[in-house]
Amino acid sequence: MKFIRSKEGKFVFHLGKRDKRLLHETLKLYPRIPPGHQKLSKNGKLPDAQSTEQLLNEALAEQRAENKKLVQSFLESPTRFAEDQTGFRLSLTPAELEWLLQVLNDIRVGSWVILGSPEPKMELRLLNEKTAPDFAAMEISGYFQASLLEATEAK
């Protein structure tokens, strides 16, 4: 995925056929962060902490359900990826780009959590037949995030 330009308030990217397929397959994994993973407080010293955590988890579940619908719509849109001679062009508004970064971050961080939150030096030692799909999801979503962030810096 390569940033081409910012045009008419949109960020335009080029994706090869393999990149488009990787993006589609990666986005289908959303959401990845396990329910209950995010906590309001590290020390748990909040008034009525249990009901507050429950409210947080319910709000996050609603947000994930909505984002899941948006991901599906994004992937099924016939105009989202315009085919050209060398692959596809993807145009995103700033709001769409921000949303896509958040979805990819959920996939990246969720995959890392599923792998046991390993330190970077340990990641390759943990790689095996069982962990490879999670490791791939983490790395591929990071690749797409880097491409999107590059566009925001170049603007």
Domain ranges of the chain: 2-34+81-154
Mean residue pLDDT of the chain comes to 89
How many CB atoms within 10 Å of residue 2?
13
Q: In sequence order, what are the residues at sequence separation of 6 or more whose Cβ sits closer than 8 angstroms to the Cβ of residue 112? A: 118, 138
pLDDT tens digits, residue range 34-75? 876 665 556 656 667 677 778 888 888 899 999 999 999 999
At residue 37, the pLDDT reads 62
Owner of token pair 């999107």: 148
pLDDT of 118 reads 86
Integer CA distances (angstroms), 36 to 1, 54, 106, in order: 33, 9, 14
Q: How far apart (Å, rounded) are the C-alpha atoms in residues 147 and 74?
A: 18
pLDDT for the residue numbered 55: 84
pLDDT computed for residue 49 by the predictor: 66
pLDDT at 27: 98
Tens digit of each residue's pLDDT (9 = 90 or more) over 90-103: 999 999 999 999 99
